[in-house]
Each structure stands twice: as structure tokens, then as C-alpha cells.
Amino acid sequence: MAIRRFLPSLWGAPTVPAGQESVPPFSALQQEMNRIFDDFFQGTNLSPFPAAGGPAWAFHPSLDVKEGEKEIVIYAELPGMDEKDVELLLEESSLVLKGEKKFEKEDKGEGYHTIERSYGSFHRVIPLPREIDLNKAQARFKNGVLTVTLPKLEQAKEKGKKIPIQSA
């Protein structure tokens, strides 16, 4: 027989299983949301936080990759940079984009002198399909946007070949 139901001081009181402490509801909600976001971003490069070992303020250029029938075009947003600050290396199966962003702002006035400086290097590796014509690759830099055009090889432009099926 449950003696608890006869005790008025316990009527309506929340029950907590033995060995578990009560957790405030908003704290439990926050823990659950943190777990959900950690699970979602794990194993991707979409994390809102920098990769381990990288500072939170590190510069990571945004990339757009578009594949057409004849070529692959990569756009990299590099605001405040010049082409001399960027290096491209085209390997057999990847494009390596690296560089260093430097910023310095000096302001002098009556009774004050401020200098703001920021420096940061970046290194991005973009995997490419094997059907790229390495000898015809081109890169242009204009208004802070690097455009890399990678033509496909002629045999790669063919979408496939129909194979006739013969009866046995």
C-alpha cells in the first residue's frame, strides 16, 4: 500500500526518481539544445564555431562552386585583398587557395592617435573531379572577388554512352 497518498504534505509534489537530482527546466532545455546543435554540426564544416586550433577571429573566405557542362567556375570572396596577397595551386585532384589578409587603419587627431591592425592567413582546399584540363585553367581577380575557371576535358563532356543489350 502506498503510504505517500495519505500524507497531505506530499500531495501534488513532483516526484524525482531515486538517485536523480532536480534540474531547473530552462537548464535542461539549454543542455538539450546544445546537444542537438553539437550533433547536427559534428563532422561538417558548417559549424558556427572555428575548427579546433583556429582562433575565433580567423578569416575564412566564402566560396561558390558552379559546375556546368564545359567547365567548373569557383568564386572566392576576398574583400580588402589584392591578387598579390593570394596564391593558387592547382593539383591533380584539388585546388589550393591560400593567402594573407592584412589590414591597418591609422587615425590621428588632436590629443589622440590610434592604429588598428589585423593580420590573418587562410588556406582552403577544394576537391576537384579528375576530368579538369589543368593546362587551360584561368584565374581573374576583380573588386575583391577571385574567379577561377577550370575547363573540363573533352572526353568528360560526354554524359555517357548507351550500351545495347543483346539477348542470349
pTM of the predicted structure, to 2 decimals: 0.56
Average of per-residue pLDDT values in the chain: 77
Domain CATH number, residue 133: 2.60.40.790
Distance CA 75, CA 140 (A): 10
For residue 16, give the C-alpha cell: 524525482
Q: Is residue 116 part of a domain?
A: yes
Number of domains in the chain: 1
Residue 121 clears pLDDT 80, i.e. is over it: yes
Residue 118's domain spans which residues? 62-156
Residue 89 covered by a domain? yes
Which residues lie below 8 Å from residue 140, measured CB to CB, with a gap of 6+?
Answer: 146, 147, 149
pLDDT at res. 18: 55
> Residue 51 has what pLDDT?
47
